[in-house]
Amino acid sequence: MKLLNANLSIVLLSSVAVVASAKAAGPAQVAGPVVQVSGGQVQGRLISGGGATFKGVPFAEPPLGDLRWRDPAPVMPWTGVRDASAFGHACTQRISGFNQEEGQNSQEDCLYLNVWTPAWPAKTRLPVMVWLYGGGNTAGAASVGYMDGTLLSRRGVVMVTINYRLGVFGFFAHPGLSAESPHHTSGNYGLLDQIAALKWVHDNISKFGGDPQRVTLFGQSAGAIDTSILVASPLSKGLIQRSIQESGPPIRPTDTLAQAEQAGVKFAEVVHASANSADAIKYLRSLSGPDLQKASIDKLATDGTLERPIIDGYLTPRYPALTYEQRLELNIPMIVGGNAREEARGYTREAMVRVINDNFGKLAPKAMAYYGLDKSALGNEDPLTGTASTQITADTRHRCGAEVESVWRSSHGRTTYQFQWDPPVAGEVGTRHQAEIPFVFGTLPHSGFLSGPYTNADKKLSDQIQTYWVNFATTGNPNLPNLNGLPEWPKANPTTRPYMEFTTDGPQARENLRREVCDLYIGALKETIPANTAAEK
């Protein structure tokens, strides 16, 4: 814990600000205000040009030692003033191509959040936007430059980004953990961290000028999937009033608690833990974080079962798709969608056939014909959505899942808006996974991951998507309070299936996004959902 002597805080922060401002994604920053939050006082920084930022604010106790694999514990109070001028550590994670910055010096002590406000002192209650990063629930952090909240906040919101436990630290289930839990369950610790952060926002955000009754939870990829799960969770009631899911619908295979516990038992055996459940957990908690992470990576290389949200009977009472199909999720306004080319995987024909069979079941022959795989080895290529392999990945993992969500929710009278993002990251061919993030945050970085060069047209498009997002956070309608000349975004309905397509020429309202193949996907999903009801038993 970093505590500052009250008499020295202004002097110290002023000297630190000069160094930190060179690293900040937003404008230069100087020493700033003190706020009382759950746990004690924190001192952030004023931002040159207006507003303030508070970084590395704890929303739960560090999940270390005996707190590893437990519900996030309330923050222990501190004395004095805590320095909130720098990000907290990212959560322990695997390092891959996109998360080099996040992965360096990642630690188990990572349950921190960050707040940006456009004015200080706050003059009015503003809507709040809480961001969940992506990374497959095994990587990512709230501290990277292209997700800096300064510019989005200046649109008229209080921005919050949070960390949550990842991989084996965030999603490990085991009978021994379930036995000691008051909920008789285990796993989903990363999701419980997100709930704890939302509770912190509910209790504290008014002190930063935020309105706790206008909270939009939004995220990308795993962060969007987690968002969709929380919207379907009874634990989120009263904490979320709107949601945005970028490339992450809830229509995915989901393990039951029993399946996840058995995977946990196998992992414990791999690291030579006792067969006795209680002793196994004691031993696993005694392992160092780096040793446990290394062991989990070796295990994940073989079956990948230690990193996913599960149906635990507590946070997730049932298969998420079933929750939406039965109209049991929170009745809140929602934006769902994804990118034209998501996660191009370069599938072989054999792999494409396997994925089609897995996702379309009895309707697989019709899907094969749709992708042209009945006539050529690698199928049809589309100028916008790419090769058949890329189309199959986007359709089955993202696009048609968002379509299902949009169709079901609008059929139930739930306010829903759908989108597709087409423009690529600068200099790339095709719109890949994550491409929209710097546009949403307005950062458009010049170096590092998702960097440019970006054009004036890109800046204009960034302005447009931010207008829709902030309007939605403000009113639950992306068209209000002011479109500033943008086209009206039609509300979803199951008949014409309207959506907003973001193109290099700006947003354009369209209908029936890949309806033929997504109807096949919906038909196949309806055949498989009844089998998932067993997860509740």
User: Is the CA virtual torsion 102, 105, 107, 109 positive or negative?
Assistant: negative
**Which residue is it, tokens 């207008």?**
467
Is residue 486 within 8 A of residue 472, CB to CB? The reply is no
d(CA 364, CA 340): 22
d(CA 370, CA 488): 32
Helix 257-270 with 289-300: angle, nearest 10 deg? 110
221 is a catalytic site residue: yes
Identify the active-site residue in 61, 101, 180, 343.
343
d(CA 157, CA 128): 6
Name the nearest CA neighbour of 176 among 263, 276, 271.
276
d(CA 429, CA 411): 36
33 three-state secondary structure: strand
Provide CB contacts within 8 A for 347, sequence distance 6+.
Answer: 355, 389, 392, 393
C-alpha atoms less than 13 angstroms from C-alpha of 481 in its C-beta half-sphere: 4
C-alpha atoms less than 13 angstroms from C-alpha of 354 in its C-beta half-sphere: 5
d(CA 72, CA 194): 9
Provide CB contacts within 8 A for 310, sequence distance 6+.
Answer: 171, 173, 187, 188, 254, 255, 256, 257, 259, 260, 316
What type of residue is 175?
Answer: P
Is residue 219 within 8 A of residue 191, CB to CB? The reply is no
Q: Give the containing element (helix H, strand E) for 437.
A: helix 437-441
Identify the active-site residue in 89, 174, 398, 433.
433
433 is a catalytic site residue: yes
Name the nearest CA neighbour of 356 among 406, 399, 391, 325.
391
d(CA 329, CA 317): 11
d(CA 337, CA 421): 8
Q: What are φ and ψ of residue 170, in 5° steps?
A: -105, -15
174 is a catalytic site residue: no
Identify the active-site residue in 106, 153, 221, 233.
221
Helices marked H in 7-97: 9-23
The catalytic residues are 221, 343, 433
